[in-house]
Structures are given as C-alpha cells and as structure tokens.
Amino acid sequence: MTSRLNHLSAISLFVEDVAAAKAFYLDVFGAPVVYDDAVSAALKFDNLIVNQLQHIIRRARPRARRRLL
C-alpha cells in the first residue's frame, strides 16, 4: 500500500547565489526571512519554510595532455 503525503512543512533548494535567490523571493512573494547567513537563507510561506542552500558548482579541471611518443 502506498502512503500519501498529507503535509509538507519545509523544502530545501540548492542555489548558486543565495543573496539573489533570497532577493527574488522577497521581491516577488514578500516572504519574510526567518534565518540567513553567508551560505543559506530560510523564508516562511504560511506553514512552509523554504530553505535556500548554497550549491557550489565545481568545474572539472582540464587534464594535462599526454605527449605521444
């Protein structure tokens, strides 16, 4: 038997720029910030907390070319 999800109280979003994401949610939705620091922010929507967590994308370093003999 499958269980149903009846209530959701928090979600986490991984974002590259926490400050820009926080500003977007403030400007568009007027959601109050309940917590923020350098790498995260939490905004409240009625009974839902939206956590924004910084996600750093690490680019692969190019490998050194091998010399063919």
Alpha carbons within 13 angstroms on the beta-carbon side of residue 55 total 9
Q: What are the residues whose beta carbons fall under 8 Å from the beta carbon of 11, sequence distance 6 or more?
A: 48, 49, 50, 51
Q: How many domains does the chain have?
A: 1
CB-CB contact of 10 with 49 (8 Å) = yes
Q: Is residue 45 part of a domain?
A: yes
For residue 38, the model assigns a pLDDT of 92
- Report yes or no: 42 and 1 within 8 Å, Cβ to Cβ: no
Q: Consecutive 10-residue runs of the chain (69 residues): their mean pLDDT? A: 85 95 94 94 95 84 68
Residue 64 lies in a domain: no
- Which domain CATH number covers 31? 3.10.180.10
Rg from Cα positions in the chain = 19
Beta bridge partners of 10: 49
User: Is there a domain that residue 17 lies in?
Assistant: yes
